[in-house]
Amino acid sequence: MNNFVNDRARAEIFTIKPYTPGKPIDEVKRELGLEDIIKMASNENPLGPSPLAVQAIRQMVDQLHLYPDSNCFYLKEKLASVNNIESTGVIIGNGSDELLKLISETFLNKDDEIICAQPSFSEYEFAARIMGAACISVPLKDFTHDLDAMLAAVTPKTKIIYICNPNNPTGTTVNRDEVAEFMQKVPDSVLVIFDEAYYEYAEDPEYESGLKYVLEGRNVIVLRTFSKIYGLAALRIGYGLTTPELAGAVERVMEPFNVNSVAQTGALAAMQDSPHVKNSKELNARGKQYLYEQFESLGLKYVPTEANFIFVNVKNNCREVFAALLKEGVIVRTGDIFGYPEFIRVTVGTPEQNERFIKSLKKVLEV
């Protein structure tokens, strides 16, 4: 059987690096026998899901025997209205992860190239390698996308450039002027993907969505998600905003019924829940300031963030800090997977979670 796999499986799959998710709460409970655990590893909304989404889902559970709307009609119409684009320019996926894979299946051939920042979201490389394309990684500059260096990396083989804005794991953004200069120079033959999973959290007045370039008819796709500020990570639903032509191409490789009815219902209701979004943003803003102050008092350098997580240098082996925090019932993300062995990434939580994290961190660092 092993020889069959080695001989017959596509060679590209053996170049793929497995995704490293945040450690689940139940797994920590089983491993360490702990019950009181907080997870600050996966950038989930500490306020939980949108209450309107929960209510809407409860009202539709007796329809689970019916297939979902394969076209996600009502959700597309709402997203199109809110973003002032045609509904035929909206694509809905089983999380942004599926959309990244579908985009790769649509546009990439063997030996094509994509360009992305390093470190950034690992799924860009994953989706490219599935198709046999190469990933050209451009190091961050001051923890931020180096757009000039990314332009310099463009070759005739370049098909896609990914700009994660705000960037995961650093939380940094490239501002409107930097993006405008980049977009003036990028060849029209290159598809630019703005991954804006944390768009709603950005507070910098110089930040601007890539949607502007979609409205100009450029070869651009803006990706967003209901997993973060809307608190619907378990439903796996993300969306893309683009031109009808690009959306139509991507939808050709999309499986029917790829987004389930529960997810569609929850997402549509969550879009009406402005109080939940407002509360989530305010909680995050207060939490960031508290954690900044605590890190400064501990003498720890951190990267100011426009997202709902902070990348911080704990001046120790991150794996050891991670393991010690686990024993305290606090789950964070190690920085070594991003190439920063003394950093951790911590999600901004509720005041109680933030305080518990800092108390545990002080204990672990013995300060």
How many helices and strands, by DSSP H and E, does the chain display? Answer: 14, 13
Beta bridge partner(s), residue 220: 192
Q: What is the pLDDT of residue 34?
A: 78
Residue range 309-353, pLDDT digits in tens: 999 999 999 999 999 999 999 999 999 999 999 999 999 999 999
Residue 155 and residue 66 share a domain? yes
Residues 148, 153, 154, 155, CA torsion sign: positive
Token output for 365: 């660092």
Residue 206 and residue 319 share a domain? no
Mean pLDDT (whole number) for 13-25: 79
| CA 306 – CA 203 distance, rounded (Å) | 6
Q: Considering the chain, what is the average pLDDT of its residues? A: 96
Please state which of the ranges 11-25, 40-54, 268-282, 317-331 shows the lowest mean pLDDT. Answer: 11-25
Residue 215 and residue 342 share a domain? no
Of 113 and 23, the one with more pLDDT:
113
How many Å separate Cα 228 from the centre of its chain? 8
pLDDT band (50, 70, 90) for residue 358: very high
Beta bridge partner(s), residue 193: 162, 221
Q: What is the pLDDT of residue 189?
A: 96
Q: What is the pLDDT of residue 90?
A: 98
Residue type, 355: E
Inform me whether the pLDDT recorded for 157 exceeds 90.
yes
Mean pLDDT (whole number) for 187-211: 97
Mean pLDDT (whole number) for 250-264: 97
- Cis check: omega of the bond before 166, within 30 degrees of 0: yes
Mean pLDDT (whole number) for 192-211: 98
Token output for 326: 């686990």
Residue 220 and residue 93 share a domain? yes
Residue range 135-148, pLDDT digits in tens: 999 999 999 999 99
pLDDT band (50, 70, 90) for residue 21: confident
Inform me whether the pLDDT recorded for 134 exceeds 90.
yes
Q: What is the pLDDT of residue 25?
A: 82
| CA 117 – CA 358 distance, rounded (Å) | 30
Q: What is the pLDDT of residue 20?
A: 73
Q: What is the pLDDT of residue 22?
A: 75
H or E stretch at 158? strand 158-164
What residue spans of 10-122 are helical by DSSP H?
A: 25-32, 51-60, 73-83, 95-107
Neighbours of 327 (CB within 10 A): 13
Residue 220 and residue 291 share a domain? no
Closest by alpha carbon to 245, among 45, 106, 49, 101? 106
CATH number at residue 28: 3.90.1150.10
Q: What is the pLDDT of residue 2?
A: 64
Neighbours of 8 (CB within 10 A): 7
Residue 128 and residue 32 share a domain? no
Residue 134 and residue 33 share a domain? no
Closest by alpha carbon to 340, among 202, 163, 140, 172? 140
How many Å separate Cα 15 from the centre of its chain? 22
Dihedral Cα 141, 142, 147, 153, nearest 10 deg: 10
Residue 358 and residue 217 share a domain? no
Inform me whether the pLDDT recorded for 1 exceeds 60.
no
How many domains is the chain partitioned into structurally? Answer: 2
Strands 191-195 and 220-225: parallel
CATH number at residue 94: 3.40.640.10
